[in-house]
Structure 1
Amino acid sequence: MMLSILNKFLRVTRKKGDEWKDVVFPQKKNTFLIKCLGLLVIFISLSIFWDKVGNAIPRINFLGGLINLLLIGLLIVFWLGTTYLSIKGYLALFKRNKSWIANNLAYMIGSLKLYDEEYFETTNKDKVVREKRITRVIRIKYKETDKHVFVRIMRDGDRFTSEATKLGENLESSLGLELDSTNQTVHYAEYVFLKHKDERIALDSTVTSVNDSDEIKITGNISYELHKVPHSLIVGGTGSGKSFFILGKIVSYLKLSPQADLRIIDPKKADLSLLRFVTGFENKVATEANQICRILRETVELMEQRYTDYFNDVSAFGKTYRDFGLPPVIIIFDEFSAFMHSVDKKVAKEALDYVFTLVMKGRQAGVMIEILMQRPSADDLPTNIRAQMGFKAGLGAMDSIGYNMIFDTNNVEYKTVIEKGGGYIQIDGKHTAPVYFETPYIDKEFDFIAEIENLMQGR
């Protein structure tokens, strides 16, 4: 019986981070007197238990009462432990739904008047009194883990259903936490918050050092596996940090094992075009239209050859290029919009057809493409290609139309980006909506060309 009592108290006091809790509004206030009376009852009950059990211990004379002394000692330890668990369990009942999360969410409900009231008439000493009563409250659930706080606004078909998807900014302010992602279903709108601010990492930390891993880290909390998220779209104007970001990704790809096979397309002949002077990049950097189409064509041919060589019978079922030890082949296509506007329609269509083939078939064969643009344009990059981009990032400040083109969503509240290298990111399998992030930190004195040369020589 005592064992079952202890188990009950342990269940009460055990942390249950995986359970959803309801936010109660209005919150009930517990008086200090009630708490004291409860503690007194627990203490008296346990004292009576101690007295009854203590008197029941037989007086054993064997070995001079040593065994009797040992029993008394064990009983004292048991009594003190039971008292501690009882008091802790009792106080836990009062703390239920009284966490800082519940308190702050209840305060938000009151501040935003997310409840309905009606007047009721009551009789008090033969007088009719009208008083307001809360008849309906928005339903909010929450749970807490080591890294996140999850908040669900229930959509019950009442007037709060439309409000449920618009509370991101209010929740951020109420909890004082950074919104990590959102998820919307028929039944609820879910908001996921980071308990600790995401850290901006150094470039040296972007590649996971675990053997056989192709994980690329973007921030302290955001990372992805290259073979699961093969194609990327990165948009950012002058001063957004886009150039440093892509150079950093190039360094990360060259640190992979096996080292990535990179092909660079830079129609504006900007910084990326200078990689043609690095040993190992001969014939892999294109700046002219004919060179660009050649690299795209050769990469498509390589992809098809991989399918012929490695995926030609049933033994390849479920396998990817990694199972055959093949290096990823990555095309980095900078200034995509500029290229599409600088060539005739025939060349543009040819290049676009190659890009479409790569994004549709390249993942399993390990052939990937990263498209970089200064401004988002649905005309330059068709929807059927954008939809295949598992990694999407928008750097720097841009309007909602630009974000909507990149992420194909129009129900996200975007904050103004003021930090260079800051922006929004969405990775398939990681995010259900774009989240704010900051690109890896790169020291101003860092020499990209020298680092890339060293990595190419060590391949």
Structure 2
Amino acid sequence: MRMTQRKLNGIYFSIWIALTLTVVIILKVATPIFNNLLTDLNLDYQFDPTLAIQMSVVLLLLSLLIFSTIWSIRNRIWKGKESIKSYFLILKIRKELILASYSDDQNVTEKVVRLPKIKIKFDDKQLNTGRLIIRDSVEFHEKLEKATFTPALKGFKVETVYQSDDGDWFIFDFYATDSQNQDVFTELSSFLDWSNQTTNQYQIRFDGRLSADLKHILLVGATRTGKTYGLIGLLLQMINKSTTYHLYFADPKNDQLRKIGNWVDPKKTAVTTEELIKLIEQVYQRLIEREKEMEKATATRMTGDYRDVKLEPIFLVFDEFSSFINVLESKEKKQVLGHLTAVVQRGAGAGVFLLLIMQKSDATTLPTAIRSNLLLKIVLGNATTTTYSTAFESSSDVPIFRFGKGQGVYLDDTMSKPKLFSFPYLKFIDAFDGGSNDPALLWQKNSSDQQALNSEL
């Protein structure tokens, strides 16, 4: 069987250790026999193997020390579980590369082959995501471009492939397949603790591996795909941050979002067409005011946004935008779209954001000027090709997956291809379905109310 030089070196080292041990054993076992033979021959000489055995043992220990030191440095043993996991994954990949004939033909003997350099780097201590990094070359470029390493990464799945900035490496982003299991929370406090593990006051946690700065968001999903649970999770994080979030609620369907809005702030909640137009105008005026605040606050700064001057975020949360925009007269529609376009184009730096919820993404309903500035796009469930195409501008790169409730794919401004996504399951919300608990408690910020809520649940 063909093998790498590294494996051959390991075999040579194993043989060396075996031979050294054999010498020690022979000296131990054969010396008494040899000395008895000398006595029987009346020779006044006894062989003392102690020095030879000691030298052999020292040589053996020194060899093991050198080998283990080289192995530890190469595999970064100080990283603990990560180094062990990386070692066995690379071992498996190297084996698969040999079987797939990924060898350098200019450096091949009858049994020994040369493989490209391989590295694995994990992004977190939980080993949920990481990167497989393989050295590119003229010899391997075409093969690596078409390669899939998911079968070799047991327990992990590759989702994006790209080249390093210098073009010297192929990088395969992967995630642990069990990381897509939904987190389940039975208490509000444990959910908030989880969200704060990876975020600051100007960030939101979306699932087990996605935490992001505040930005304009598009959330798409058909009925029963988990949009409501996902939205509630985002809003609960916002109202429980250390800084105040100013939330505006637009619900033309007069449904769940209207209820949440009334519990949080009825004055900033709109349902009818007239109310919705006024609410959008109000948010637009807040944008203009905020821009003036920013101009004054950053007068002595070269750069910076609302976070640098400690301004509070403003969010317009809009459910089922299509059912609202399609009933407007031409003049009203132009005004509304103009205001929303201003918010998504100018609002991010000033801390004014739009969170848009829709059942499907339609190019005729959501203008490109707005959609292209919604930098985080989430599509839940198994959506149509049209929905993926209008949300992500392509449906061909969407991962193949059987999505459950609250699961889907997302794409943000730092990515070239969508990745799998899974909102946590907020089991504590189920306690309100029977009417035995007051939902208003859920939307109170102070900790005493949260403790009361958890005790009731």
Partner of 1:455: helix, strand, or coil? coil
Q: Tell me the distance in 2 between the aligned counterparts of 1:40 and 1:136.
A: 25
Question: Alpha-carbon deviations, 1:276-307, whole Å to 9, x = none?
Answer: 542x5223122222222211111111111122
CA 1:446–1:224: 2 relative to 1, 3 Å: farther
Residues 42, 87 of structure 1: 8 Å contact kept = no
* Partner residue in 2 for 1:191: 172
Q: CA offset at residue 143 of structure 1?
A: 2.1
Which moves more between the two structures, 176-185 or 389-398? Answer: 176-185
Q: CA offset at residue 25 of structure 1?
A: 7.5
Which moves more between the two structures, 377-386 or 401-410? Answer: 401-410
Q: 1:449 aligns with which of 419, 439, 444?
A: 439
Partner of 2:347: helix, strand, or coil? helix
* Partner residue in 1 for 2:278: 294
Instruction: Say yes or no: does 1:384 pair with 2:369.
Output: yes
Instruction: Say yes or no: does 1:178 pair with 2:156.
Output: yes
Q: CA offset at residue 264 of structure 1?
A: 0.9
Q: CA offset at residue 93 of structure 1?
A: 6.8
Q: CA offset at residue 235 of structure 1?
A: 0.9
Q: 1:285 aligns with which of 265, 269, 285?
A: 269
Partner of 2:307: helix, strand, or coil? helix
- Aligned residue type for 2:254: K
Q: Tell me the distance in 2 between the aligned counterparts of 1:261 and 1:43.
A: 74
State the percentage of identical aligned residues.
19
Q: 1:306 aligns with which of 268, 287, 290?
A: 290
* Partner residue in 2 for 1:86: 63
CA 1:180–1:140: 2 relative to 1, 3 Å: same
* Partner residue in 1 for 2:321: 336
CA 1:212–1:189: 2 relative to 1, 3 Å: closer
Partner of 2:300: helix, strand, or coil? helix
Q: Tell me the distance in 2 between the aligned counterparts of 1:211 and 1:100.
A: 32
Q: Tell me the distance in 2 between the aligned counterparts of 1:449 and 1:260.
A: 20
* Partner residue in 1 for 2:93: 105
- Aligned residue type for 2:418: P
Q: CA offset at residue 102 of structure 1?
A: 3.1
After TM superposition, list the pairs within 5 Å mapping 1:21-170 onto structure 2. Answer: 26-27=3-4, 30=8, 34-39=12-17, 84=61, 86-90=63-67, 99-109=87-97, 139=116, 141-145=118-122, 147=127, 148-152=129-133, 156=137, 161=142, 164-167=144-147, 170=148
* Partner residue in 1 for 2:224: 239
Residues 229, 425 of structure 2: 8 Å contact kept = no
CA 1:365–1:458: 2 relative to 1, 3 Å: farther
Instruction: Say yes or no: does 1:320 pair with 2:305.
Output: yes
CA 1:30–1:418: 2 relative to 1, 3 Å: same
Q: Tell me the distance in 2 between the aligned counterparts of 1:343 and 1:137.
A: 67
Q: Tell me the distance in 1 between the aligned counterparts of 2:252 and 2:358.
A: 12
Residues 181, 435 of structure 1: 8 Å contact kept = yes
Q: CA offset at residue 180 of structure 1?
A: 6.5
Q: Tell me the distance in 2 between the aligned counterparts of 1:176 and 1:370.
A: 37
Q: Tell me the distance in 1 between the aligned counterparts of 2:172 and 2:11.
A: 38
CA 1:301–1:32: 2 relative to 1, 3 Å: closer
Instruction: Say yes or no: does 1:221 pair with 2:237.
Output: no
Which moves more between the two structures, 151-160 or 235-244? Answer: 151-160
Q: CA offset at residue 188 of structure 1?
A: 4.9
Q: Tell me the distance in 2 between the aligned counterparts of 1:84 and 1:402.
A: 64
Give 5+ residue unaligned stretches, structure 2.
25-53, 76-85, 186-190, 433-437, 451-457
Q: CA offset at residue 436 of structure 1?
A: 1.1
Residues 156, 174 of structure 2: 8 Å contact kept = yes
Residues 4, 113 of structure 2: 8 Å contact kept = no
* Partner residue in 2 for 1:402: 387
Which moves more between the two structures, 388-397 or 197-206? Answer: 197-206
- Aligned residue type for 2:228: S
Matched pairs, number: 384
Q: Tell me the distance in 2 between the aligned counterparts of 1:33 and 1:297.
A: 75
Q: CA offset at residue 419 of structure 1?
A: 1.6
Residues 222, 359 of structure 2: 8 Å contact kept = yes
Q: Tell me the distance in 2 between the aligned counterparts of 1:115 and 1:410.
A: 35
* Partner residue in 2 for 1:366: 351
CA 1:277–1:213: 2 relative to 1, 3 Å: closer
CA 1:42–1:346: 2 relative to 1, 3 Å: farther
Residues 396, 420 of structure 1: 8 Å contact kept = yes
- Aligned residue type for 1:221: R
CA 1:206–1:371: 2 relative to 1, 3 Å: farther
Q: CA offset at residue 386 of structure 1?
A: 2.6
What RMSD, in angstroms, separates the aligned Cα atoms of the two structures? Answer: 4.2
Partner of 2:445: helix, strand, or coil? helix
Q: Tell me the distance in 2 between the aligned counterparts of 1:184 and 1:264.
A: 40
Residues 181, 432 of structure 1: 8 Å contact kept = no
* Partner residue in 2 for 1:260: 245
Which moves more between the two structures, 107-116 or 144-153? Answer: 107-116
Residues 199, 205 of structure 2: 8 Å contact kept = no
* Partner residue in 1 for 2:78: none
* Partner residue in 1 for 2:196: 208
Q: CA offset at residue 242 of structure 1?
A: 0.8
Partner of 1:262: helix, strand, or coil? strand
Question: Alpha-carbon deviations, 1:303-340, whole Å to 9, x = none?
Answer: 11122234236225433333444321100111122323
* Partner residue in 1 for 2:331: 346
- Aligned residue type for 1:151: L
Residues 4, 114 of structure 2: 8 Å contact kept = no
Q: Tell me the distance in 1 between the aligned counterparts of 2:57 and 2:114.
A: 43
Which moves more between the two structures, 419-428 or 174-183? Answer: 174-183
Q: Tell me the distance in 2 between the aligned counterparts of 1:136 and 1:404.
A: 44
Question: Alpha-carbon deviations, 1:36-95, whole Å to 9, x = none?
Answer: 44226778999xxxxxxxxxxxxxxxxxxxxxxxxxxxxx9xx98986453143367799
Q: CA offset at residue 349 of structure 1?
A: 2.5
Q: 1:417 aligns with which of 384, 391, 402?
A: 402
Residues 390, 427 of structure 1: 8 Å contact kept = yes
